Structure 1
């Protein structure tokens, strides 16, 4: 069992997809959309490193069941970007908490379902808090954790082999504009504008330009 490299990639992609979706009408203006797109490589890298750290620490008999995530970013200096990603990764044995901030994985911890206490409570920013074996969280997360603890929760289809992994080379009329694995294999990611591959590339969160060519 354990967590596969494919699942790490799927989680990083899901974090990035969620980051690119506007939360409200104000987020839909051109400036905000461009800022989100510019920050996407850093968010992707943070999500990948955080999920990779969890994968490195799980036991050999743990299998990934589902993941809940949030992401954010801030621009610093001359257009630099700092990504912030938080994950709740549920396995068949326990739930893992972690965050990636200021370029590093922080506060990585886990609690077994057998000893986990769930305190349903509205909290600031809506993100669960773990103190010892007690998780304080909002209603939907409390229900999710309760099902996980009971053993009734079914593994998320998108995390299973052959799940909703994006194509390495989107075709005409295919996926929405986003960062995808570089089909030319010269960089980690390349930006797809919804119709064509662009020169915008990223490796380890560092963006650059590399003209499209065979």
Structure 2
């Protein structure tokens, strides 16, 4: 493998978005006369989007009475408050600086709709640096299908076999593996309760972004020595 690029999942891998979700959910719970949500429970459902988080926080099923209205209210609020508390995970900005300095393009492959992902990336000041942003409404098949990863590689102008895809959910690893990239499991992310990342068949796993940089740097050194 000749390392040429890196792709990231968005929520739980590149950006720590859960505090914005929690602020909105807790405000909604308060308005409905319900107790505050368990942060750990909501965090474990972030990868399942608004449906998963709201079902956990309100102890409801998605086919329950009033759920659709609840979800619309959440999405409306999130549109207005999607970058209040969100921050890059520790070490991410240093990692992106290193990638830019090395001339390694990077991008994002997410299951977050573009109407949220695009303004979020812009609000974080990353839009000009992100070489590709692939959202589910831009492809026929979202993760865990290979299509979004292959589309991102095409936009970056790189071969999938020379790319690394980093994510905190099984479907990220499945998508990367299906596309032929190396895959890295981000153990610091929003791992669903009961999931065992060791069973995901990722190429590598990391506990933080600094570990990822060390791993990528080691691959670059091996390439140099090989040449």
TM-score, L = length of structure 1: 0.25
Q: Which structure carries more strand by proportion?
A: 1
Q: Which has the higher contact order (CA 8 A, sep 6+)?
A: 2
Q: Which structure carries more helix by proportion?
A: 2
